[in-house]
Amino acid sequence: MDQQSKELSSSALKRRLLVQALGSAALIGGVALSGRAMAQALTTDSQPVLDVLIIGAGLAGLTAARDLQRAGCTSCVVLEARDRVGGRTYNHPLGNGLVSEAGGEWIGPGQTAIFDLARELEVETFPTYYQGRTVYLAGDAKYEEDLSKAQGGGNPVTEKLNQMARRVPSKEPWTAADAPEIDKLSVGEWLASQGLDNVGRLSFDTSIGLTTGTPPSSLALLHYLSLINSADCSMEKLEGFKDGAQETRFVGGSEVLCTRMAQALGDQVKLSTPVRKIVGWDKDIVEVHTDQGVFRTRQVIAALHPALCNQIVFDPPLPEGRAQLQNLWPSHAPMRKTVHVYERPFWREKGLSGQVVQADGPLILSCDNSPPDASVGILMGFVRSAQLTDEPAAAERQLAQIYAQALGKEALDVKQFHDHDWAKVDPWTLTCVGSIPPGFLTRWGRYLKPAVGRLIWSGTETSDLWASSMDGAVRSGHRAALEALQALVDSRRHA
């Protein structure tokens, strides 16, 4: 077992033991109380009362439910507004057991929480294919460069960002000593002062835009530095494929993690059950009003994007700080991903990685999304919605012609095409990643994580590490479960 595996296994073991200890209340005054016993001890004479109700069946919500179940807290349900689990992970079925991810898909070094979860769920991983030359397009011009052999480090602008990130803690970036000054700037404003040429600026704009879902001109420098801080203060690790956060993929697609957790939870997961109103979050018993009826519970975990909380009516109204954070949280980075399926990954035969960057068209970046055995070739594309038609056949042809220019005429022979615009699929995914503007975190950040009454906030945006990633979602689920167990134990102790 290599050192990283040992560290990950040790981390998982410590978390499991802590969850079990809290679940049995062994840490609080010697009171031994499992979730089942607690439910029996505190049941009212009226409608049954849950111990914990979780809103959202994505990675955060299902991780929390799984931890609660393993701690013995069986009086728990997960409510999901969609007719599926997975949240911002979603697989396109391609037939013959093959899939391509429409949402989050990559993980990398340092993202130990999701690696742990995958091993526990027996979901295998495999390396992302990025070997070969990347193709850059600008009008009719084409340029190729093999980035997979590039040596890390050495870029003075990147090094400046890495050094600055050391002063901005990912857990609470608004507490950095010079946070007010940093938070006045956008990443774009800062980059404009660094003397980059057009090629360099395009490279930064593309990578930062894909990670954060917004152009650098709209992105807070403080927020971006906090993301780099999560990645060991290395922009290369945050943005990169080789030794970076895009290095590894899941066999069967990322959504399989949620599918397996939901299967183990069984009928504790309620689909097509949007929450409309939460009453009495400041009382001992909270009423959660949904399209499928009213649930009563002692604790609520809201595993939601902060802006999605605005679709719920809170009675009484939330405290001003939390309410304003939700109202003002940006939700304009929905992302749109396309998939072209081919008979084989023909670009590999030409020494190409499948990565295409277009400076002035609808394609932001394409990646090789083929399965581990390369039994078919799959190109996934991040696209600019405003520059690509919504008509499927026309969109397929438009992108195929771009791929043909970059990779060869074989790109015109498309076997399948899929298009997933997160802005249009449903009302439950306002945005895929966190696109925080300047001035936001220093004013409202402190209201993001603290519980309000019986409401515990979860979701990747609340994670202390790797916020906005799948790993951050898993971490936030673990934390929320522990907070809920602690609150239940405290309430029993004071009963």
Residue 418 in 3-state DSSP?
A: strand
> Does residue 423 fall inside a structural domain?
no
Do 229 and 292 lie in one domain? The reply is no
Distance CA 448, CA 453 (A): 14
Do 282 and 209 lie in one domain? The reply is no
Do 169 and 205 lie in one domain? The reply is yes
181 labelled as ligand-binding? Answer: no
Q: How many domains does the chain have?
A: 2
Question: What pLDDT is attached to residue 43?
Answer: 42
Distance CA 165, CA 226 (A): 6
Task: Look up the pTM and report it.
Answer: 0.91
Q: Among 318, 281, 313, which residue's Cα sits nearest to residue 296?
A: 281
Q: Among 462, 456, 447, which residue's Cα sits nearest to residue 486?
A: 456
> Does residue 16 fall inside a structural domain?
no
CB within 8 Å of 58: residues ≥ 6 apart: 85, 86, 87, 88, 89, 258, 303, 459, 473
> Does residue 99 fall inside a structural domain?
no
Largest interatomic CA distance in the chain: 75
- Of 243, 271, 306, the residue that ends a domain is 243
> Does residue 472 fall inside a structural domain?
yes
Q: What is the CATH number of the domain that holds 231?
A: 1.10.405.10
461 labelled as ligand-binding? Answer: yes
Q: What is the pLDDT along the chain (495 residues), one digit of tens a residue?
A: 444 444 455 556 656 555 555 544 433 333 333 444 444 434 444 679 999 999 999 999 999 999 999 999 999 999 999 999 999 999 999 999 999 999 999 999 999 999 999 999 999 999 999 999 999 999 999 999 997 765 545 689 999 999 999 999 999 999 999 999 999 999 999 999 999 988 888 889 888 888 887 889 999 999 999 999 999 999 999 999 999 999 999 999 999 999 999 999 999 999 999 999 999 999 999 999 999 999 999 999 999 999 999 999 999 999 999 999 999 998 776 789 999 999 999 999 999 999 999 988 999 999 999 999 999 999 999 999 889 999 999 999 999 999 999 999 999 999 999 999 988 888 888 777 768 999 999 999 999 999 999 999 999 999 999 999 999 999 999 999 999 999 999 988 876
Q: String of b and e for 68-91 (b: at least 16 CB within 10 Å)?
A: bbebbbebbbbbbbbebbbbbbbb
By CB atoms closer than 10 A (0-12, 13-18, 19+), residue 365 is middle
Do 174 and 293 lie in one domain? The reply is no
349 labelled as ligand-binding? Answer: no
80 labelled as ligand-binding? Answer: yes
**C-alpha distance from residue 381 to each of 90, 170, 172, 354, 378 (Å):** 15, 29, 33, 10, 10
Do 190 and 72 lie in one domain? The reply is no
Distance CA 36, CA 23 (A): 10
Residue 222, token pair as written in the block: 């403080």
Do 220 and 287 lie in one domain? The reply is no
Question: What pLDDT is attached to residue 209?
Answer: 85
Do 175 and 314 lie in one domain? The reply is no
> Does residue 134 fall inside a structural domain?
no
Residue 420's beta-bridge partner residues?
337
**Do residues 11 and 112 touch, judged by C-beta distance below 8 A?**
yes
Instruction: Cite the DSSP H helix spans in 300-367.
Output: 320-328
Residue-range definition of the domain harbouring residue 73: 50-87+253-332+432-494
CB within 8 Å of 16: residues ≥ 6 apart: 70
346 labelled as ligand-binding? Answer: no
pLDDT in tens, 83-140: 999 999 999 999 999 999 999 999 999 999 999 999 999 999 999 999 999 999 999 9
SS3 content of the chain, % helix, strand, coil (to 5): 40, 20, 40
Do 327 and 261 lie in one domain? The reply is yes
Do 257 and 233 lie in one domain? The reply is no
> Does residue 110 fall inside a structural domain?
no
CA-based angle 219:222:226, to the nearest 5?
A: 105
> Does residue 355 fall inside a structural domain?
no
Question: What pLDDT is attached to residue 338?
Answer: 97
Do 236 and 274 lie in one domain? The reply is no
Q: What is the CATH number of the domain that holds 265?
A: 3.50.50.60
Unique residue bearing structure tokens 């004071």: 494
> Does residue 479 fall inside a structural domain?
yes
pLDDT in tens, 78-89: 999 999 999 999
Do 191 and 309 lie in one domain? The reply is no
Do 226 and 81 lie in one domain? The reply is no
